[in-house]
Chains A and B, each alone.
Chain A
Amino acid sequence: MIAEKPLTAAQRDDLRIISGMMIPESDEYAVPGADDAVIQGDIVATLGRDTRMVAAALDHLAKLAGKPLAELDEAWREAVVTEFRASGGVPAATLARVILQCYYRDDRVLRSLGLELRAPFPKGHVLPEGDWSLLDPVKARGGSLRRAP
């Protein structure tokens, strides 16, 4: 497999800023923003096959902004990101996805959502049986299969 070129420092800076705009830190829910260093580290370390798309998205973003996102005032930054989301196509969608997939596996975020910090296997989950008497009306109504000649 061809080794992917890592993101440049400038791309990583813009990635951090846009991640924080997507998901800001919240005291109310006791969660970090997606611009948190650990989450950013996870994103960059696991980009893998998405690297090229994400780099393309960040290049598009840089072109729209004309300079590093961090140097824009808030209103301009918002306008640039709105335009980016409207015109970014698959690369922009990939960028959003890689941010979300790392954010929603962070321990602090999962804890805040009341989810366990583990892989599904091998513990799994327990399902309540549910009320099977709900089927009684269906049984009472009955019915028959369409006849085939």
Chain B
Amino acid sequence: MHDPVDVLIIGAGASGAAVAYSLAETKMHILCLEQGGWMKPSEYPSTGRDWEAKFYGEWSTSPNVRGRPEDYPINDDNSPIKVVNFNGVGGSTVMYTAHWPRLHPSDFKVKTLDGVADDWPIDYDALTPFFEENDRMMGTSGLSGDPLSPLSHPPMPPQPLGLSGPLIGKAMNKLGWHWWPSDTTVATLDYEGRARCINLGHCTPACAQGAKASTDITYWPHAIRAGVELRTQCRVREITTNEHGMASGVVYYDEDGVEQFQPAEVVIIACNGVGTPRLLLNSASGKFPNGLANSSGLVGKNLMFHPYAQIYGFVKEPTDSNRAPPTCLWSKEFYDTDLSRGFVRGYGIQFVRGAGPVFEAVVGEQKGILPWGKDHHRVFRRLNGHRLGVSAICEDLPEEHNRVTLDPVLKDSHGIPAPRIDYTISANSRKMMEHGLARGRQILDMLGATDICINSPIPWGGWHLLGTARMGTDPSRSVVNEWGRSHDVKNLFIVDGSVFVTSGGVNPTSTIQAIALYVADQMKQRLANLFD
């Protein structure tokens, strides 16, 4: 048995890193257990000539394809959207695309504004200082002053528009629609020990240059210098509780596969919207037969993915293809509810700058636009380096039947039950996706694009994992309270995307980390009576 720690964090990804860093100043004994290891950027795909092929194997975004020892399998057969993630120090930020919008203030009040789902128990203003702190820590680039986005102050200038940006901008101007350079966590200047982006074009799956902010190179070095202990290759099986119904620690498997018990005064879960409910459900006990912190029955329910409706085509002009970070522009033209469109809520648009030659060939062949035989070469030259795409990030509303449960059969390499996903796209989301595709088509028509292809939903697009341990003030309708503490277990906190009440229509990680910093701040303010 190990010596008890004051705070035990499970998961070293986006939110685990942020909460560890913020709590470090308390000088408590803080330990983080992470099932994966430290990354080695010298082994990242973009360092080799076979960089694109790696994407289909050990650098796949899908844990089921990747199948590394630290990955756990996910049964997502019953979902049109498959879960993608990364397990290691940095978590899914190792793989993410670094697109960095924030939820809008109105996203926190959807019940009041639109009569659907629920309002959050916190509002945007509560998070504002933490958005700002997080942007400094992650190191963002962008252009302040977007009239249709919450005000941000990126410390670095935006990425160049490149070849693709002006084409998209001109088309959007002709349509009279909003567009703006995206905030991203791609460093456009040398920043706090990180080298600037040199346009390797391979942010997903990982940045060998260290220009993209993954938390292994942003928060973690600071947190470790401040005294946080990070134990890698340690997979937590369950959270244990004592006779008072408080969390007493965790059982985990160390790097040699040996079962260990780690006692703790406080447990914080940061395993993401799938890993967190999985862990809570795996922590069922006599006192908590339906899983830990689950008196509401909502652990694992209300899973929200953001179905992506993507449409792309090929223009005459050369585009950036793989010679730039894939995302650089967004649009909020269709973000807010307009019931005349036939659905409630809305979507953000993320523009796609292009793709590399292997990806273009593989996808083109699959879509039937790249022929076999003698025409292959001529068509490939028309497609390669000419792609532009439009993705509508559709707000998924919470629905209890969309859920994470434990698979009765599937287990990870330690024999721990794996998660199972049951998810359907709602009628409202479908209408939103159709709308997004139609608007995307207008944009592509304006660009003169041909060979139009659609991915709706993007099947391997389950990158935003939200809602499965939602926050709220009513213990019968939520899993954690308005500052991230479990209603049922007073020394158990959740800080990842599971706590989202609704999903907004933008990529969530900026908001996930702001919430993690906010929860840490609430904990610091209440240290004397944290368990009251």
Contacts and interface: CB of A to CB of B under 8 A. Distances in A.
A65 interface: no
A93 interface: yes
A49 interface: yes
B47 A119 contact: yes
Contacts of B161: 128-132, 134
A128 B105 contact: no
A111 interface: no
Interface in B43-57: 44, 46-53, 56-57
Nearest to A1: B67
A146 B159 CA distance: 27
A21 B372 contact: yes
Contacts of B147: 138-139, 141-144
A143 B148 contact: yes
B-side binding surface: helix, strand, loop or mixed?
A: loop
A119 B104 contact: no
A22 interface: yes
A149 B199 CA distance: 42
Interface stretch (B80-88, B91-99, B318-326, B506-514): B318-326
A127 B323 contact: yes
Interface string B321-358: 01110000000000111000000000000000000011
B129 interface: no
Contacts of B106: 145-148
Interface stretch (A5-13, A55-63, A100-108): A100-108
Nearest to B148: A143
Contact of A100 (B47, B320, B358): B358
A135 interface: yes
Contacts of B376: 22-24
A24 B50 contact: no
B51 to A, nearest CB: 6
B166 interface: yes
A115 interface: yes
Interface stretch (B173-181, B305-313, B388-396, B430-438): B173-181
B169 A96 contact: no
Contact of B324 (A22, A81, A96, A127): A127
Contacts of A146: 104-106, 113, 335-337
Contacts of A89: none
Contacts of A21: 372-373
Contacts of A130: 160-163, 165-166, 169
B524 interface: no
B116 interface: no
Contacts of B49: 105, 117-119
Given A105-B49, A129-B160, A124 B358 contact: no
Interface stretch (B279-287, B360-368, B418-426): B360-368
A101 B361 CA distance: 8
Given A22-B376, A138-B147, A127 B53 contact: no
A102 to B, nearest CB: 8
B35 interface: no
A124 B377 contact: no
A37 to B, nearest CB: 19
A134 B169 CA distance: 6
Interface in A29-48: 29, 31, 46, 48
A121 B44 contact: yes
B124 interface: yes
Interface in B146-194: 147-150, 159-163, 165-166, 169-170, 172-173, 176, 178-181
A49 B57 contact: yes
Interface stretch (B201-209, B242-250, B481-489): B201-209
Interface in B197-243: 197-202, 208-209
B104 A145 contact: yes
Contacts of A125: 198-201, 323-324
A23 B365 CA distance: 11
Contact of B365 (A100, A126, A143, A149): A100
Nearest to B47: A121
Nearest to B324: A127
B2 interface: no
A100 B51 CA distance: 13
B27 interface: no
Contacts of A124: 197-200, 209
A143 B202 CA distance: 34
A38 to B, nearest CB: 14
Q: Which of A97, A117, A142 has the most CB of B within 10 A?
A: A97
A119 B51 contact: yes
A102 B54 CA distance: 12
Contact of A96 (B46, B165, B362): B362
B143 to A, nearest CB: 8
A53 B63 CA distance: 18
B384 interface: yes
A145 B365 contact: no
A116 B166 CA distance: 25
Nearest to B202: A120
A73 interface: no
Contacts of B104: 145-146, 148
Contact of B377 (A28, A50, A96, A137): A28
A79 interface: no
Given A24-B374, A24-B376, A31-B377, A127 B362 contact: no
A105 B358 contact: yes
Given A128-B160, A149-B109, A121 B46 contact: yes
A148 B336 CA distance: 12
Nearest to B198: A124
B105 A145 contact: yes
A127 B159 contact: yes
A62 B346 CA distance: 50
Q: Which of B44, B46, B53 has the most CB of A within 10 A?
A: B53
A139 B169 CA distance: 13
Given A24-B374, A120-B46, A130-B163, 9 more contacts: A31-B377, A48-B57, A50-B57, A110-B357, A120-B51, A120-B202, A121-B200, A127-B323, A148-B124
8 contacts: A23-B376, A46-B50, A96-B362, A96-B365, A101-B50, A125-B323, A131-B169, A148-B124
